[in-house]
Amino acid sequence: MNTTHGFSWLVYVSLVLLPAILIGSMMWRWWSQSIRSHHPYGLNEPLLRVQPYPPGPHTGRGSKHYRRSDERIIEEIHDRLLIHGFINAEDIEVESEDGVVTLKGSVENRRASRHVEDVVDSVAGVAGVNNRLTLESDRMVHRLQQKAPEDLRPEQKLRKTS
């Protein structure tokens, strides 16, 4: 009777407990990687840096007459763009006046432009975002049109035909 009971315990451990432990560890690994990959500061930054306190009904309400300086806003934006893994910020200029941030320069595509705008909008003290970023593909087309011979420029053809 002991061998039967021992056998059933061994079967239970090998068929039920071990797969449950393995699946649980795989799910934990997936969850932690998922959280880190969507983290605005990248993989190595702790989650507490983003928002150290839980959000509540008074989140975003500072003390009376407090306004974050434009220099601090710009510095925070530069830090976040530097840390962001999917934004190439080499050609981006950031200006701020009374909390309204203006972005100038060029980015690779529309998705990058939206990412930049989302990053800027998430900074405390930003009252608005004026996105004047251009796409590098548009800039390349403009450069090619400037370098093209006059007889190949589309606007020249339209003037000659009319």
CATH of domain 68-153: 3.30.1340.30
Amino acid at 108: E
Mean pLDDT of 44-59: 61
For residue 73, which phi and psi values (nearest 5 degrees)? -65, -45
pLDDT tens sequence across 119-134:
999 998 999 999 999 9
> CA gyration radius for the chain?
27
- Higher pLDDT, residue 45 or 103: 103
* Domains of the chain by residue range: 7-38, 68-153
Mean pLDDT of 72-89: 92
pLDDT tens sequence across 55-76:
778 877 778 888 899 999 999 9
